[in-house]
A and B are shown apart, each in its own frame.
Chain A
Amino acid sequence: MLKGAEIVLQCLRAEGVDLVFGYPGGAIMPLYDALEGSGVRHILTRHEQGAVFAAEGYARVTGKPGVAIATSGPGATNLVTGIADAKMDSVPLVCITGQVRSALIGSDAFQETDVFGMTLSLTKWSRLVRTIDEIPEAIAEGFYWARSGRPGPVVIDIPTDMLKAKKEFSEPVKFVPQPRIEQAAKNSANGHSGNSHSANGNGNGAGRGGTFDAVVTMLQKAQRPVALVGAGAKLSGAVTELRRLLDDLNIPSFATVHGLGAIPPQASHYLGMVGMHGTRAANMALHETDLLLVLGARLDDRVTGDPSRFAPFAKIVHFEIDPAQLDRVRACEIPVLGDLAETIPAFHTALGQSPTSRKDGEKCDWSEWRALACGAERAELDPRGLAQPTIRFLDELFSRLPQDSVVIADVGQHQMWAAQRYRSSSPRGFITSGGLGAMGFALPAAVGVQLAKPQTCVLCVSGDGGFQMNIQELATVHRLGLPVKMVIVDNKYLGMVRQWQQLFYQRNYAETDLSDNPDFVEIAKAYKIPARRLNEDAMREFPVSQGTGDLIDGFLHSRGPELLVFDCAPEANVFPMVPAGASLSEMVFEEE
């Protein structure tokens, strides 16, 4: 006989889980009681949001589901931001929450919240366990859905009496989806199928055979074809195939913030990041193209700008795994629904078999765009010069990082500067909260990344606002001795909001002033973490002085955790910028 809590842990082990992140509390106590000797290592964060972001960091860098555990009520509600983040960014995440005992459910009991109900629209799948017998199946099914198709978050809510109850238990179960669901998924992958999506419907084979021939024909006719790469290629493990395809196509390519690293920055066809703070070359190429291949990107508004003026001259071929993302923002001419790990090689094969396949880019005069991309140096990013020291600082940091380092950016100006300057070809090397834009993400996510990759240099770049949202995780870093390198780009403002206030609200800096920030160096020291400060003046000379270079090297290569506070100009802005509601062709490069 095993307790429900012991069964949960055995099932987690069966799913390959050896690391979970969480925070204990009343309803989940039986699970914590069973942890010792279970083979599952628990990482105590200092807030449930820290736990869920750490689990996300683990999942984003490994591709394996991250697991977050919390108690009922406030423990569960504190997970919600992370669950929403995982939904937006397609992160496999399994959240296990304790619930009040079954007899009290619905009675507004102490620490009772309807976490199942409140996360319905944020989760891919969820289950409120009703009997101890359901536990193995719930765990197995939860992991199945978290991993399958477009990955996402699931919630398994377990009443505390189910965790305490005992039953005979032999071994975890394996979830096998019912055949009709599998069939539905296949039909879904086949795309448009008439006037109904059906488990028994007839897909017309979009993404297969004849459809690829049509794409090849479109490609041959196009004068200005381009490729936009999102996170899908990484999530599906299709980066190698993607790079082969793009090299053969030899058409201009660019990446969303989550696509960074999928295309090697040194590739001759690569024009940089696209979108609100993308490069001029990438945005102009996207605006002027007549054929857009979208490869694993969902085309959110930060990428498209005004959707009615997005790629206005283009036909669109959209490679996507989630049918809900097709035509959501802009209609596509050809949907290619399915896993990029299958559709890219299949398309590449069709391309190669075409008698007049396009391999030399002969019709595509994109040399001007490429020149623009190459010219997208600091001057373009910041004509006034206020951001130059910060941009140079990030360049110095990134250029000194060991290979295969992982950069985790929080949310705000520093995030966009980091994305603009990131130059690695490591597919999972740049991690950030892109879709939800959740401040406070980076530090706990870095904890998860470092635990997943103990030998890897993990660089966490935050702003002074975001860092304070989960600053308590310094305690987690210290307790575990994680050698995370933490940078705070401190402009003493909520910088991105302030930038918008400057540009669009007549400099009315309402409630964005953080000039009374605490001394982050002293705070770090209180957590027994070494810290130092670097003023932006050190970055005004180029190349940087030996002393500054040594300081950065010392920071990056120290053995334990360390914090570096970089003081930057309060009114530095991120450029280029596509104002909200504007077209990608309407980038601004400085405040007017």
Chain B
Amino acid sequence: MQAFYIRYRNTQGTLMRILNAVSRRALDMPSVRAEEAEGDHQVILLLEVTPKQAAQLEREWFSIVDVLQVSTVHAGLPAAWTLPHPPASVAGNTEEGLAARA
């Protein structure tokens, strides 16, 4: 389980676009908390994701107009999206490979 913090301007549709990025991958959202934060808004998502999914999500969130910041709970550790994925060595028919290619 990984926590993601997304700070955004609370304009029409921005939160829904953030959540759409999750739902289009058919990921469960066990915890979603959206609230005002220092003049902007913040949503905290708890998700079970692969490193590749985490990376894709972070980049996709940051591409959304009015998203200001995307970060993970693991401060100080490399962000998931800096890790290589899918690894070139991953075989397509393994569980890991399927996850990487999801």
Contacts and interface: CB of A to CB of B under 8 A. Distances in A.
Interface of A: 116-117, 120-121, 124-128, 145, 150, 178, 180-181, 184, 188, 192, 194-201, 306-309, 312, 322-328, 330-331, 581
B100 interface: yes
A120 B72 contact: no
A308 B63 contact: no
**Nearest 6 pairs between A and B by C-beta?**
A196-B71, A331-B84, A195-B79, A324-B63, A197-B62, A199-B68
Interface of B: 7, 9, 12-13, 16-17, 20, 24, 55-56, 58-63, 65-72, 74-79, 81-88, 90-92, 97, 100-101
Given A120-B16, A121-B20, A324 B59 contact: yes
Given A181-B66, A306-B92, 19 more contacts: A117-B16, A121-B20, A126-B12, A181-B68, A184-B67, A192-B82, A195-B75, A195-B76, A196-B79, A199-B69, A201-B69, A312-B88, A323-B63, A324-B60, A327-B55, A327-B81, A327-B84, A331-B84, A331-B86
Contact of A308 (B71, B77, B92): B92
Contacts of A127: 12
B84 to A, nearest CB: 4
30 contacts: A116-B12, A120-B13, A121-B24, A124-B65, A125-B13, A126-B12, A126-B13, A127-B12, A192-B82, A194-B79, A195-B76, A195-B77, A195-B78, A196-B72, A197-B59, A198-B68, A198-B71, A306-B92, A307-B101, A308-B90, A308-B101, A324-B59, A324-B62, A324-B63, A325-B59, A326-B59, A327-B59, A327-B81, A330-B86, A331-B84
B62 A323 contact: yes
Contacts of B100: 308
Contacts of B7: 199
A418 B24 CA distance: 33
Given A192-B82, A199-B69, A201-B69, A328 B59 contact: yes
B43 to A, nearest CB: 14
B65 A145 contact: yes
A197 B62 CA distance: 7
Contacts of A322: 63
A331 B77 CA distance: 19
A308 B94 CA distance: 12
A462 B97 CA distance: 38
B2 to A, nearest CB: 12
Nearest to B78: A195
A497 to B, nearest CB: 24
Contacts of A192: 81-82
Contacts of B83: 331
A322 B65 CA distance: 12
A125 B16 CA distance: 11
A389 to B, nearest CB: 38
Contacts of A194: 79
A14 B62 CA distance: 30
Which residue, A121, A180, A327, A330, has most C-beta atoms of chain B within 10 A? A327
B49 to A, nearest CB: 14
Contacts of B74: 195
Contacts of B78: 195
A339 to B, nearest CB: 15
A419 B45 CA distance: 44
Contacts of A327: 55-56, 59, 81, 84-85
Contacts of B97: 308
Contacts of B20: 120-121
A150 B88 CA distance: 28
Contact of A125 (B58, B65, B84): B65
A199 to B, nearest CB: 4
A198 B6 CA distance: 10
B71 A197 contact: yes
Contacts of A200: 69
Contacts of A328: 56, 59
Contacts of B12: 116, 126-128
Nearest to A327: B55
A141 B5 CA distance: 26
A184 B97 CA distance: 33
